Amino acid sequence: MNASSIIRKTASDLRVTPNFCDYEGERHRFSWAAVEAELTTGKPEINIGWQAVDRHRALANKSALRFLARDASPRTLTYGQLAAQTNRFCNVLRALGIAKGDRVFILAGRIPELYIALLGGLKFGAVVSPLFSAFGPEPIITRVNLGGATVLLTTDALFERKIAPWRARMPTLKHVLLVGEDGGPTASPGTLDFSRLMWDASDSFDHLPTDLEDPALLHFTSGTTGTPKGAVHVHGAAITHWATGRYALDLHPDDIYWCTADPGWVTGTSYGIIAPLLHGVTSVVDREEFDAERWYGILRDEAVSVWYTAPTAIRMLMRAGADAAAKYAFPQLRFVASVGEPLNPEAVRWGKDVLGLPIHDNWWQTETGGIMIANTPAFDIKPGSMGRPLPGVDAAIIQRTGDGGISIVDEPGKQGELALRRGWPSMFRGYLNEDARYHKCFIGDWYLTGDLAQRDADGYYWFVGRTDDVIKSAGHLIGPFEVESALMEHPAVAEAGVIGKPDPVLGETVKAFVSLNRGFEPDEALCMELLAHARKRLGAAVAPKEIAFVAQLPHTRSGKIMRRLLKARELGLAEGDTSTLEGAG
Ligand code: AMP
């Protein structure tokens, strides 16, 4: 990093006085207890749904969420309407006999009913899990069963394709609530019509008290092996969402805010729903997928002032070319942030050239529940860096010692594992039903993130890579094991090994290496068949984009597929330590 490439903040970058100007001072003064007291006004209870919606009595007529869709006129829910609708949903849950702590799953695109059910479920004290609607049936069945879902809210179209044929494989599901097209009525055997239930329910409800440690949200994330992990988050997480909305997104009351992430991923919930509502701002929600012209149009026409998006999206905008952007102006836009994967320095500078603003990269993960390290208004940006730990967050670069402990790396520029001192409010409180897996993430006071990073002499953190084999494609974390398992269901497949292959736009794409059972020919037709099989089972966001046939996959002596070696071979890199390779030595 040479000093000339630092992006210095100028007056035009800061169109309002930022919430956060004095990095060292604020870190020094900060305490989570003080933020908690501010948010809860000293009461011992906290409920994300109530705090995000009902607390804002004075904002009853202000737009909370503004829903955009290609073929429908925009629909706005004010804070008052959102309070009434979420109350109705609480009463629906009560009438169905749902109890506090029961799991309510949601599988839907970014439609108003998703937001109502999520916030209503939280207000009711249920544990809510929003699933990505582009998942195929296999990831859905796995997660519904791991989470022991009692209620599933989905749309009739998703139900027909992804739930109905497999309903018998989800025995915990007692109630499936269906939303018809455009929120209208619907009927399918064995389901309940959401619109009817809501119509019949009262819009007043005294929210059930929840406390800081009551579970609120379940977000699934992927590891290298085994099933996805259900990260449990508590109501107290709202304290982090609120603080980080202020420090890392610079939310001010008059902002029009747009987070492009889907609530099926943690960013779309923590920062697409909770943080902006806690701050009482107006959020834009677009139902459609990425489209450069559409996105530029939304930024301009909705007068978005704060925009939180992802590196893949920024790279796609860059690819769409300067001409696409030149037709638009964004006079209201004043702060842009991104998360989810490394943000290339060129992308930060593209922001400055095309949007007139640098892009503030920040870092966090499902387990941390909220932004931990960020480029903020309080300091200059070093393009390519994730920024500095926020107030209330202690980060370190560590190395594991042979005796099961850790040592902290003080030396700037030295690579190690990124760790966070435990204790921030949105820290996950467990992996559902997997205590041992949870406890393995901690050594002493430190939570080990599984990311490799380094810190420079100015305290900026730089992402290096992962310590494990998970894949990041278009910002979505994909577990290779889930993909391998789906491939192996096909009768032709003897074994599969899955890696992330670098991609200039998506970060990585999923590539599978497959060995075949006797009697199957490794030809183009089979390759297409396997790609289609995986896509049908897993959904397009998770399925491999490429399949290569191999006679045999490399294994360790203990029988594990050596994905690291597959990747090194794919990239033409040195194969590293192969002493554990089956047949070696
Ligand atoms: P997820 O739990 O799906 O949100 O994925 C979290 C992972 O995404 C992190 O552990 C990192 O590997 C990666 N990630 C998130 N933000 C960044 C960033 N700003 N730069 C590089 N990698 C990131």
CATH of residue 531's domain is: 3.30.300.30
- Tell me, yes or no, whether 39 lies in a domain: no
- Tell me, yes or no, whether 460 lies in a domain: no
How many of the other CB atoms lie within 10 Å of CB of 546? 13
Helices marked H in 209-344:
237-247, 266-269, 275-278, 292-301, 311-320, 322-326
Shortest-distance atom of ligand 1 to CA 450: 10
CA 344 to ligand 1 center in whole angstroms? 14
Tokens linked to 403: 């005796």
CA 563 to ligand 1 center in whole angstroms? 20
Which residue's CA is the closest to the ligand 1 atom numbered 4? Answer: 365
Task: Give the pLDDT score at 13.
Answer: 59
Q: Report the CATH number at residue 259.
A: 3.40.50.12780
Same domain, 502 and 445: no
Task: Give the pLDDT score at 585.
Answer: 47
Same domain, 174 and 256: yes
Task: Transcribe 175-244 into DSSP letters.
Answer: EEEEE-GGG-----TT-EEHHHHHHHS-S---PPP-BTTSEEEEEEE--SSSS-EEEEEETTHHHHHHHH
Within the chain, which residues score under 50 in pLDDT? 2-4, 585
pLDDT tens sequence across 23-35 = 999 999 999 999 9
Which residue's CA is the closest to the ligand 1 atom numbered 22? Answer: 341
Task: Give the pLDDT score at 10.
Answer: 63
Instruction: Please give the residue range of the domain that contains residue 474.
Output: 468-571
Which residue's CA is the closest to the ligand 1 atom numbered 5? Answer: 365
Domain count of the chain? 2
Alpha-carbon distance of 56 to 79, in angstroms, equals: 7
Smallest CA-to-CA distance from 110 within 270, 237, 269 is with 269
Task: Give the pLDDT score at 225.
Answer: 80
Alpha-carbon distance of 158 to 113, in angstroms, equals: 14
Alpha-carbon distances, residue 2 vs 342, 346, 349 (angstroms): 19, 14, 15
Which residue's CA is the closest to the ligand 1 atom numbered 20? Answer: 342
Task: Give the pLDDT score at 12.
Answer: 56
Same domain, 522 and 546: yes
Same domain, 389 and 433: yes
Same domain, 277 and 140: yes
Query: Tokens 């499902």 sit at which residue?
Result: 366
User: Strands, DSSP E only, in 86-204?
Assistant: 103-107, 127-131, 151-155, 175-179, 192-193
Tell me the three state secondary structure of residue 97: coil
Alpha-carbon distance of 410 to 430, in angstroms, equals: 30
Shortest-distance atom of ligand 1 to CA 386: 19
Same domain, 451 and 488: no
- Tell me, yes or no, whether 40 lies in a domain: no
Alpha-carbon distance of 145 to 166, in angstroms, equals: 12
- Tell me, yes or no, whether 14 lies in a domain: no
Phi, psi of 259 (to 5 degrees): -105, 125
Query: Tokens 């696409």 sit at which residue?
Result: 324
Same domain, 481 and 360: no
Residue at a domain's end among 455, 483, 514: 455
Cβ atoms of residues 428 and 217 within 8 Å: no
Smallest CA-to-CA distance from 112 within 360, 287, 233 is with 287
| Residues near 274 by beta carbon (within 8 Å), at least 6 away in sequence | 48, 52, 237, 238, 241
Shortest-distance atom of ligand 1 to CA 367: 2
CA 465 to ligand 1 center in whole angstroms? 9
Around ligand 1, the residues with Cβ closer than 6 Å are: 221, 266, 339-342, 361-363, 365-366, 386, 449, 451, 463, 466, 472, 477
CA 361 to ligand 1 center in whole angstroms? 11
Task: Give the pLDDT score at 226.
Answer: 80
Cβ atoms of residues 568 and 497 within 8 Å: no
Smallest CA-to-CA distance from 551 within 521, 573, 529 is with 521
- Tell me, yes or no, whether 26 lies in a domain: no
Same domain, 211 and 276: yes
Alpha-carbon distance of 381 to 361, in angstroms, equals: 9
| Residues near 316 by beta carbon (within 8 Å), at least 6 away in sequence | 290, 292, 505
Helices marked H in 455-495:
480-488
Same domain, 143 and 282: yes
Tell me the three state secondary structure of residue 281: coil
Which residues are 227's β-sheet partners?
A: none
- Tell me, yes or no, whether 3 lies in a domain: no
pLDDT tens sequence across 172-223 = 999 999 999 888 888 889 999 999 999 999 999 987 889 999 999 999 999 8
- Tell me, yes or no, whether 35 lies in a domain: no
Same domain, 355 and 333: yes
Shortest-distance atom of ligand 1 to CA 265: 3
Same domain, 211 and 296: yes
Which residues are 501's β-sheet partners?
A: 509
How large is the greatest C-alpha to C-alpha distance in the chain, in angstroms? 73
Residue at a domain's end among 412, 429, 455: 455
Phi, psi of 565 (to 5 degrees): -70, -40
Phi, psi of 233 (to 5 degrees): -120, 150
Helices marked H in 422-518:
435-439, 480-488
Same domain, 446 and 500: no
Cβ atoms of residues 541 and 134 within 8 Å: yes
Residue at a domain's end among 424, 455, 486: 455
- Tell me, yes or no, whether 580 lies in a domain: no
Alpha-carbon distance of 561 to 549, in angstroms, equals: 15
Cβ atoms of residues 474 and 265 within 8 Å: no
Cβ atoms of residues 177 and 195 within 8 Å: no
